[in-house]
Amino acid sequence: MFDEVQAVADAVLYEGYALYPYRASAVKNQLRWQFGVLAPRGWSEGGGRYADPWWQETQCLIEPRDGASPRLTGRCRFLQLRHREATATAPAWDEADMREVDFNFALAGDEAGAEQAVSFLFPGGVETRDGVAHRRWPISGVLRLTVTPFCAERPLLKLCLRVDNVTAWVLPGAPRDEAMRASLLGCHLLLGARDGAFVSLMDPPAWAAEAAAACRNVRTYPVLAGARGRRDLILSSPVILYDHPAVSPQSPRDLYDATEIDEILTLRILTLTDEEKREARATDPRLAALIDGAERLGPEDMARLHGGARPTSDDAPVPEERPVPMQLRVGDRVIGPGSRVRLRPGARRTDAQDIFLAGMTATVESIMRDVDDCDCVAVTLDDDPGAELLRWQRRFLYFRLDEIEPIDASAAAPEATP
């Protein structure tokens, strides 16, 4: 059931597994396991203010289909740390093994309103691989589900799934590296609905907006998964995603760092010295495969990484670009390059620095169109001593038309191009 979302779920699972320059000695790889970490409760509650949490909770909505009693099929996925001892040719390193816990819950009938639970245990132990000792520590946890009917225009069920790390722990002040040995790493959920359909929390229909707003997710972000239009799959991720996330077809491999652009990171890998590449290969088999794969990329592969246009949906053609006008009408004025405007940043902006620009005057450098196909202006600040340099570099500030106010007579010159 979850084959369609396996690739993006794996990207979530291994996010941050190791960072460029992919060597055990790199500073960035001294503090690992940043996403979806559920530490043992005894350490989490006694480890200080910044200790990793020991639980996470997913809340989502499901709409029963035609009066049927829906069922929930799920899979809890995480990594279990495996410590590899140092050898003459390789450093000590923490690798990890994927763990999956499958579960099935009824969502109606006698089970509705009652807590349903699944416990799991993965043992520890020591094994030798190619003469190198690998050690795991035991991990135990429990996944709990409660179902609550929600009064809406249509029947709705609110699901609350909580994952707890209940691994025994007696060293509350232990270093974080030790606690990670008994932690669920990259923990996330895959959920499938039978005889029901999930409701998007990111973009709910109007009749379910109140119910969606009542969902409280703690350290998880549930989104609709699979192909666009499907409503029977959810990926509840510790990384913020949008509905129906997917791995780009131009991306040839997992770089373990989804905040980087594949092309840039691949080029940086190719600039590593031979000695740095040898150390990266010795650090981890996954990283060795990453380095080898980057070196095998040909010119056509690199060209694909540079980007390209794609449809906005699976069956929609790439939209035709509207010609960008040379001038635009703002209220009763017409503005274009050279016009002076006063900045009125809108409430929708999320950059706190924008509040410092409110009321400042700027010069329009060009008319642009943003990714939402809305007209906007590129400007430089009038009081910026570096404006000329920014103009030469074409490093502008961008504002939509409802965020500017024309302030000079020249703005009322010719009519706007239709």
Q: Strand 139-150 to strand 156-165: parallel, antiparallel, or no bridges (unpaired)? A: antiparallel
* pLDDT for 117: 96
* pLDDT for 417: 42
pLDDT interval class at 303 (50, 70, 90)? confident
Tokens 């191009």 found at: 417
pLDDT interval class at 58 (50, 70, 90)? very high
Per-residue model confidence as pLDDT tens digits over 8-39: 999 999 999 999 999 999 999 999 999 999 99
Instruction: Kindly give the interhelix angle for 285-296 and 274-283, rounded to the nearest 10 degrees.
Output: 140
> From CA 234, how far away is CA 303, in angstroms rounded?
33
Q: Is the pLDDT of residue 177 over 70?
A: yes
**Chain mean pLDDT for the chain:** 89
Q: Is the pLDDT of residue 180 over 60?
A: yes
Burial call 299-335: b when 16+ CB within 10 Å, e when fewer: eeebebbeeeeeeeeeeeeeeeeeeeeebbebeebbb
> From CA 106, how far away is CA 95, in angstroms rounded?
36
pLDDT interval class at 411 (50, 70, 90)? very low
* pLDDT for 50: 78
Per the CB < 8 A criterion, the answer to whether 36 and 188 are in contact is yes
* pLDDT for 216: 95
Q: Is the pLDDT of residue 387 over 60?
A: yes
Per the CB < 8 A criterion, the answer to whether 8 and 247 are in contact is yes
| Helix, coil or strand: residue 388 | helix
Per the CB < 8 A criterion, the answer to whether 105 and 72 are in contact is yes
Per the CB < 8 A criterion, the answer to whether 158 and 33 are in contact is no
* pLDDT for 413: 44
Q: Is the pLDDT of residue 408 over 80?
A: no
> From CA 283, how far away is CA 6, in angstroms rounded?
26
Count Cβ atoms below 10 Å from residue 173 Cβ, excluding itself. 8
Structure-model confidence comparison of residues 284 and 257, the more confident one: 284
Q: Strand 125-129 to strand 132-136: parallel, antiparallel, or no bridges (unpaired)? A: antiparallel
Share of the chain above pLDDT 90, in %: 65
Count Cβ atoms below 10 Å from residue 247 Cβ, excluding itself. 14
pLDDT interval class at 320 (50, 70, 90)? low
Domain 328-412 top-level CATH class: mainly beta
SS (H, E, C) 123-134: CCEEEEECCEEE
Structure-model confidence comparison of residues 167 and 319, the more confident one: 167
Share of the chain above pLDDT 70, in %: 89
Q: Which two tokens stand for residue 379?
A: 């400007």
| Helix, coil or strand: residue 151 | coil
* pLDDT for 212: 95
* pLDDT for 302: 85
Per-residue model confidence as pLDDT tens digits over 111-160: 556 799 999 999 999 999 999 999 999 999 999 999 999 877 888 999 99
Q: Is the pLDDT of residue 84 over 60?
A: yes
Burial call 210-229: b when 16+ CB within 10 Å, e when fewer: ebbeebeeebbbbbbbbeee
Per-residue model confidence as pLDDT tens digits over 331-356: 888 999 999 999 988 766 656 777 78
* pLDDT for 416: 42
* pLDDT for 150: 86
* pLDDT for 309: 62
Domain ranges of the chain: 3-296, 328-412
Per the CB < 8 A criterion, the answer to whether 142 and 119 are in contact is yes
* pLDDT for 151: 79
Per the CB < 8 A criterion, the answer to whether 403 and 345 are in contact is yes
Give mean pLDDT, residues 43-71.
89
Q: Measured in Å, how far apart are the chain's first and last C-alpha atoms?
A: 51
Q: Is the peptide bond before 21 cis (omega within 30 degrees of 0)?
A: yes
Total-model pTM:
0.76
Q: Is the pLDDT of residue 49 over 80?
A: no
